[in-house]
Amino acid sequence: MSINIEPNKTITKTAMKAELLDAETEYALAVAWRDNRDEVALHRLITAYMRLAVSMAMKFKRYSVSQQDLIQEAGVGLMKAAEKFDPDRGFRFSTYAQWWIKAAMQEFVMRNWSMVRTGTTTSQKSLFFNLKRVQAKIEREAQKAGETLSLAEKDALIAEEIGVPLRDVEMMQGRMSGGDFSLNAPQSSDEDTREWVDSLEDTGPQSAEVVEREQDLMTMRGWINKAMDVLNEREKYVISQRKLVDEVRTLESIGQELSLSKERVRQIEAAALDKLRKRLEKDVGKAVRILVDA
């Protein structure tokens, strides 16, 4: 895909004047891009929905990230959606694109919030984007009731409200309240003082461990690839999106793409994992159950 993202002002101006596509035109453009790699059709499709991307980008302004960068990243998410969109599934491109734009926004904000990785799991991401809002709500309710909550009590209520472990709330509170600190900063004002990075212990794996781990991973990949042959195409897709990608997708987002309920996707995943488990146990023994239980 070689569509360029224009400067911020140009994007916004173009987005506000973009055409509104009807379902038939949208389908034709999506098919032209998917089947013929027609970049003119792709450009028209993306331009028509840049209004959606800009609108969603503006919702992330409160995270103190450059507005121009936000819009650029929203455009990247929109292009990823266009690359993966299948018009034959029967739903509109805007419905599908929203997930990709939001995912791009969240990843960008978390990547640029701090030099330290703020969160990678689903619960950590949910905390990052909801912590302040839920905390403010709890404080308002406590004030209205004439109660004074301790920090521990607030954290417990936040964990319950968002549905995440208490330890994740405590960790995120610490990360979001502190700033970055350079490891290259001197330990004291003395002229010959060491930098803080010099005092860190090298806990990385040794060469032999790295080679051994890579060999184990190659073996396990071979087992899994062979076992995947027992799954149908839909089961393979659900498992790949839930278990075999860096950014694991939710049951809800997969359901929206496949026009299935969240519960139905969960059932497909469970059935597919059961098939994989049985095939792996048959081929290489019960020890590999950890591969599908992870």
**Computed over its alpha carbons, how large is the radius of gyration of the chain?**
24
With respect to residue 279, please indicate whether it lies within any of the assigned structural domains: yes
Strand partners, 195: 186
Strand partners, 186: 195
Dig out the tokens for 205 from the structure: 């794996």
Stretch (H or E) spanning 144? helix 122-144
- The Cα 108–Cα 98 span in angstroms is 15
Do 215 and 133 sit in the same domain of this protein? no
Do 12 and 105 sit in the same domain of this protein? yes
CB atoms within 10 A of CB 111: 13
DSSP SS3 for 18: coil
The mean predicted confidence, pLDDT, of the chain is 78
With respect to residue 62, please indicate whether it lies within any of the assigned structural domains: yes
Do 162 and 236 sit in the same domain of this protein? no
The model's pLDDT over 147-198, given as tens digits with 9 standing for 90+, comes to: 888 888 888 888 888 888 888 887 777 666 654 445 556 656 666 666 655 5
Residue type for 258, please?
Answer: L
With respect to residue 202, please indicate whether it lies within any of the assigned structural domains: no
- The Cα 278–Cα 272 span in angstroms is 10
**Range of 97-106, 199-208, 252-261 with top mean pLDDT:** 252-261
DSSP symbol at 255: H
Give the domain-ending residue among 65, 92, 113: 113
- Which of these ranges, 80-84, 105-109, 167-171, 186-190, has the smallest mean pLDDT? 186-190
Do 44 and 70 sit in the same domain of this protein? yes
Do 28 and 84 sit in the same domain of this protein? yes
Dig out the tokens for 27 from the structure: 């389908």
- Which of these ranges, 12-16, 186-190, 227-231, has the smallest mean pLDDT? 186-190
Do 109 and 126 sit in the same domain of this protein? no
Dig out the tokens for 169 from the structure: 């709330």
Output the pLDDT for position 104: 84
With respect to residue 14, please indicate whether it lies within any of the assigned structural domains: yes
- Which of these ranges, 100-114, 237-251, 270-284, has the smallest mean pLDDT? 100-114
With respect to residue 1, please indicate whether it lies within any of the assigned structural domains: no
Is 268's pLDDT higher than 80? yes
Give the domain-ending residue among 87, 113, 139: 113
With respect to residue 266, please indicate whether it lies within any of the assigned structural domains: yes
DSSP SS3 for 214: helix
Do 14 and 55 sit in the same domain of this protein? yes
Is 77's pLDDT higher than 80? yes
Taking the alpha carbons at both ends of the chain, their separation in whole angstroms is 34
Do 151 and 236 sit in the same domain of this protein? no
Dig out the tokens for 119 from the structure: 């969160």
Give the pLDDT mean for 244-262.
89
Please report the sign of the dihedral spanned by the C-alpha atoms of residue 1, residue 41, residue 98, residue 261: negative
Do 140 and 188 sit in the same domain of this protein? yes
CATH number, position 228: 1.10.10.10
DSSP symbol at 156: H
DSSP SS3 for 204: coil
Do 191 and 243 sit in the same domain of this protein? no
- Which of these ranges, 51-55, 94-98, 113-117, 175-179, has the smallest mean pLDDT? 113-117
Give the pLDDT mean for 263-286.
82
Q: 28: pLDDT confidence band, cut at 50, 70 and 90?
A: very high
DSSP symbol at 88: G
Output the pLDDT for position 291: 47
Closest CA to 83 of 73, 71, 97: 97
Is 57's pLDDT higher than 70? yes
Total domains, the chain: 3
With respect to residue 256, please indicate whether it lies within any of the assigned structural domains: yes
Do 32 and 104 sit in the same domain of this protein? yes
Which domain does 282 fall in, by range?
Answer: 207-293
**Range of 75-84, 100-109, 270-279 with top mean pLDDT:** 75-84
Give the domain-ending residue among 113, 141, 171: 113
With respect to residue 30, please indicate whether it lies within any of the assigned structural domains: yes
Residue 43 C-alpha from the chain's centroid = 25
Do 101 and 159 sit in the same domain of this protein? no
